[in-house]
Amino acid sequence: MSQAKEDSALPADRLVLAVAVLAVVLWGGSSVATKLAVNEIDPVVVGALRTVMAALIALPIALPLRCAIPRTRSQIILLATSAVGGFVIFPMVYSVGLGLTSAIHASLILAGLPLLTGLFAAVLERQLPPRRAPSP
């Protein structure tokens, strides 16, 4: 690869890195921000506000991308189930839980969610994850 091509790729790489760092900071700060909020506002209201704010941020991003709309009944049910679980139930339960514990405990639970999700999927699928990631 020539030096010119390498130099032109750097801004894109930096943008990806910057967005990734921003995502980690926002994700990591969500427990503290939610804890501060539930100390002042009803936890159910905090959960609802979190969902509404996420929608207000996501819609202007998703609409121009023209994401595929579910067509079949099973696709609609899967999307609705995922939306209710991820955007309604989780923020409510998380906010109520943060009203009962510390932000540190909530952060530890949040950090463990990917592992628990993988274990739950393995149990449902009755299949262990592969030892190595599949090669591209």
pLDDT digits (tens, 9 = 90+) for 12-60: 788 889 999 998 888 888 899 999 999 999 999 999 999 999 889 888 9
Whether residue 119 lies inside any domain: the answer is yes
The DSSP letter of residue 97 is H
Q: Does any domain span residue 118?
A: yes
Predicted model pTM: 0.71
Q: Is residue 135 a part of any domain in this protein?
A: no
In a domain, 136, yes or no: no
Tell me the residue range of the domain where 53 lies. Answer: 3-125
Does residue 131 lie within any of the structural domains?
Answer: no
Whether 134 is in a domain gets the answer no
14 domain residue, yes or no: yes
Domain count within the chain:
1
Instruction: Report the candidate in 27, 21, 30 with the shortest Cα–Cα distance to residue 49.
Output: 30
> Radius of gyration of the chain from Cα atoms?
19
pLDDT at 96: 94
